[in-house]
Amino acid sequence: MRAHGGTSAKLVCYINYFLIVIHCSMGALAGAWANQYVWNGVWNRVPPVSLTNDRIKRLVATSSRPVKESDGRSLNIYVKGGHASWVYVYRDPADGRIRHKGLGRWPDVTPAAARRARDDFSADLRAGRVSLSPPKSPRAMTLEAARAGDLFGDAAKAYLGNELQTWDDRTRGSYTRLVERYAASLYSLPIRSITPEQVENVVRPLWNGSRTSRGYKLLIQLRGIFRSKRIVPNPASDDAQPNLITDPKARPEHFASMPANEVPAFLHSRNIAKSKDRAARMLALTGCRRDEVLNATWQEFDLKARVWMIPGERTKRKDADQPQAVPLTDAMLETMGASGEPDARVFPGRGGRKLGNDNLGVPAAYHPHGFRTTIASWAQEQDHGRKYPKQVIDRLLSHRIGNTVDAAYLRSDLFAARRELMNDWSEYATRC
């Protein structure tokens, strides 16, 4: 019995010793874990080194995609489009929801200032000095908008001013102008009264089914505006727009074109000494796209061979290995003027920069892009449509010929035929 009792005592001692070791180990692990994580309504890992101005500067300069990086204690920096914004993530003490608080843009708000702003907001939140509106159901938000008589214009301004603040200035301005110009007919309407048919009427003129088209971009912005006011069902959703979604090639955008018989008078009214007027003449004579003309540099031109080689990456088709060859005529060479440095613009703006994307002096009733239609229509009418085949006109406009199978086999650029067309058009367009 003694032997058995001694063995039991030793076993109890061993067990107690083992439990003490486990307890100490867990305490050490908990301490290490606590050093790595903090609680501020949300568990957040604290990075070994906080963000610095140099670190953020490198992120802005090198990040080609949106990036989020933590400074610790729920403070993050969001980098997108060459800009960086501070955002504090916290938990609403009323309902436990995760919320986000914008603290401004870097470098206007430095890392140290962002941390102070976070700490101040967190202290106000704990003290109950921050008023957070409780979340509302979509139906409640819709009814509230109806009672308040919210107009679409007010909702659009609020959405574009707040939701797009992380975008760069150029993109944000582009989206704002897109909505203001093409959705202007909706601005004076109560937002809850707008129907899917009215949204379709606004988007339809720009719609061609491409996710890079202005029509698709406009639809996405309208969808966000309605969502910001909790309008259910959303009249800009895919379900509400079956005609657009199932008709991807519906009515591409058309630009008003100047009649061919008005072009000679327009060209003679241009001042050849002004870069802007020379650019307008080049558009009308070549039928090239506006950006192709405004970004043209002297190194793209072979004046002896009388040809302009537009790099593939500067064309709409973006075929980097297939430059677009444009035949040059006497009128075009006269329009270009004296040659400059290889990398200098042929039609420079102030300080050598690119000219603005305005109408370049084209009458308000017409659009600069419409010269492409003018030339194509004029060519089609020659000799009752027999002089210039459609393939020649398509090559002139840098359009794809036929389907993908045709494109695989029909690889000639019909340069000689296009030179003949260009010579005839230049002679017609510059006649007295």
The per-residue pLDDT for 30 is 45
Going by pLDDT thresholds of 50, 70 and 90, the confidence category of residue 19 is: low
Going by pLDDT thresholds of 50, 70 and 90, the confidence category of residue 26 is: low
Greatest distance between any 2 Cα atoms in the chain: 131
Listed range (63-72, 149-158, 277-286, 351-360) with the worst mean pLDDT = 351-360
Asked whether the beta carbons of 426 and 285 are under 8 A apart, the reply is yes
The per-residue pLDDT for 266 is 92
**CA-based angle 389:392:397, to the nearest 5?**
130
Per-residue pLDDT tens for 175-220?
Answer: 888 999 889 889 988 888 899 889 988 888 787 666 667 888 899 8
The per-residue pLDDT for 22 is 62
- Amino acid identity, residue 74? S
Q: How far is CA 395 from CA 186, 325, 327, in A?
A: 40, 10, 12
Per-residue pLDDT tens for 366-412?
Answer: 888 889 999 999 999 998 888 888 888 888 887 655 444 344 433 45
CATH 1.10.575 fits 260-429, yes or no: no
Tell me how far apart the alpha carbons of residues 11 and 5 are, in angstroms, rounded to a whole number: 10
Number of other residues whose CB lies within 10 A of the CB of residue 216:
18
Listed range (1-5, 57-61, 76-80, 283-287) with the worst mean pLDDT = 1-5
Asked whether the beta carbons of 202 and 215 are under 8 A apart, the reply is no
Q: How far is CA 258 from CA 293, 377, 429, in A?
A: 18, 11, 12
Listed range (59-68, 92-101, 103-112, 188-197) with the worst mean pLDDT = 92-101
Helix (H, G, I), strand (E, B), or coil: what is residue 330? Answer: helix
Nearest one of 229, 233, 235, 224 to 197, comparing CA atoms: 235
Q: How far is CA 428 from CA 159, 273, 290, in A?
A: 51, 22, 22
The per-residue pLDDT for 259 is 93
Helix (H, G, I), strand (E, B), or coil: what is residue 64? Answer: coil
Mean pLDDT of the chain: 78
**Cβ-Cβ contacts under 8 Å for 97 (sequence gap 6 or more):** 91, 135
Helix (H, G, I), strand (E, B), or coil: what is residue 260? Answer: helix
Per-residue pLDDT tens for 221-236?
Answer: 999 899 888 888 889 8
Listed range (6-10, 51-55, 195-199) with the worst mean pLDDT = 6-10
CATH superfamily of 43-126: Integrase, DNA-binding domain (3.30.160.390)
Please give the share of the chain, as a percent, with pLDDT higher than 90: 19
pLDDT score of 286 more than 90: yes
Residue entry with tokens 């008005």: 262
Rg of the chain on CA atoms, in Å: 33
Asked whether the beta carbons of 241 and 200 are under 8 A apart, the reply is yes
The per-residue pLDDT for 50 is 77
Listed range (65-79, 125-139, 164-178) with the worst mean pLDDT = 125-139
Domain boundaries in the chain? 43-126, 138-245, 260-429
Long-range pairs for 220-228 at CB < 8 Å and ≥24 separation? 221/159, 221/160, 221/175, 221/178, 221/179, 222/179, 222/183, 224/159, 224/163, 225/152, 225/155, 225/156, 225/159, 225/160, 225/179, 225/191, 226/155, 226/191, 226/194, 228/155, 228/158, 228/159, 228/163
| φ and ψ at residue 347, rounded to 5 degrees | -125, 75
Cis amide linkage into residue 138, ω under 30° from 0: no
Going by pLDDT thresholds of 50, 70 and 90, the confidence category of residue 168 is: low
Fold of 138-245: DNA polymerase; domain 1 (1.10.150)
